[in-house]
């Protein structure tokens, strides 16, 4: 059985990873409602607070029930500020588990992404049993490419999306 919403999952040097609750949507919108933060994410569309809440209630809960893993939040240890969200998913029911992360813009450049991704990879392997995973990155998102490489991923291929754009596929695993 998986931990209930709001439960602490693990710690990093500066952060506490927790299962999301619907109430976290208030802070999630500071990430997913920010145009600059969403620039390299999917269709680049921002989400409202209600859409974030639905994502937690519908998508995240379903992922944990079906697969035992999904989206989690990272809060500062010295307070209750949400610094980032991340997790492992199967977007559009793709067969490969995919690691994703998003850091609040005011925390960019502080090393949080690397701290989160390295610990999330370790947790996914040890606690969720995920030894092989991918990460997809926009070719212009050089900071994310550096973060993923530091976590042991390697650039495996470029995919051509339905709209003709290119997405890099990075691979980590056994």
Query: Shortest CA distance to 86 belongs to which of 48, 129, 128, 121?
Result: 121
Within-domain flag for 1? no
Location of structure tokens 């290119």: 166
Q: Which two tokens stand for residue 140?
A: 């212009």
Does 137 fall in a domain?
Answer: yes
Q: CA-CA distance, 164 to 174, in Å (whole number)?
A: 31
The answer to whether the Cα torsion of 29, 33, 34, 39 is positive or negative is: positive
pLDDT, tens digit, 9 for 90 and up, residues 133-156: 999 999 999 999 999 999 999 999
Tell me: pLDDT of 174 over 70. no
pLDDT on residue 57: 86
* 159 part of a folded domain: yes
Q: What is the pLDDT of residue 3?
A: 63
Measuring CA to CA, how many Å separate 117 from each of 94, 98, 144, 147, 171? Answer: 21, 12, 10, 7, 13
Cα gap 164→28, rounded to integer Å: 30
Is the pLDDT reported for residue 110 higher than 80? yes
pLDDT of the residue at 146: 96
Of the pLDDT bands very low, low, confident and very high (cuts 50, 70, 90), residue 163 is confident
pTM of this prediction? Answer: 0.91
Q: Which of 5-9, 20-24, 86-90 has the lowest mean pLDDT?
A: 5-9
Whether residue 3 lies inside any domain: the answer is no
> Residue 51: pLDDT above 70?
yes
Domain of 89 in residue numbering reads as 8-173
Question: What is the total count of domains within the chain?
Answer: 1
Q: Is residue 64 part of a domain?
A: yes
Cα 83 to Cα 29, 96, 100, distances in angstroms: 12, 27, 15
How far is residue 63's CA from residue 75's CA, in Å, rounded to a whole number?
A: 21
Residue 151, domain CATH? 3.40.630.30
Band (pLDDT 50/70/90 cuts) for residue 2 is low
């Amino acid at each position: 059985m998986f931990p209930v919403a709001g439960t602490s999952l693990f710690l990093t040097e500066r952060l506490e990873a927790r299962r999301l609750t619907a109430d976290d949507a208030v802070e999630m919108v500071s990430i997913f409602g920010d145009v600059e933060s969403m620039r390299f994410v999917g269709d680049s569309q921002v989400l409202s607070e209600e859409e974030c809440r639905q994502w937690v209630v519908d998508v995240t809960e379903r992922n944990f029930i079906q697969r035992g893993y999904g989206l989690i939040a990272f809060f500062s240890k010295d307070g209750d500020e949400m610094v980032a969200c991340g997790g492992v998913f199967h977007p559009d029911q793709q067969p490969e588990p995919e690691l994703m992360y998003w850091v609040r813009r005011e925390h960019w450049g502080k090393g949080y992404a690397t701290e989160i991704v390295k610990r999330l990879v370790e947790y996914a392997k040890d606690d969720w049993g995920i030894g092989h995973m991918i990460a997809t990155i926009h070719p212009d998102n050089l900071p994310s490419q550096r973060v993923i490489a530091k976590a042991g991923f390697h650039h495996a291929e470029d995919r051509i999306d339905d709209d003709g754009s290119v997405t890099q596929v990075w691979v980590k695993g056994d």
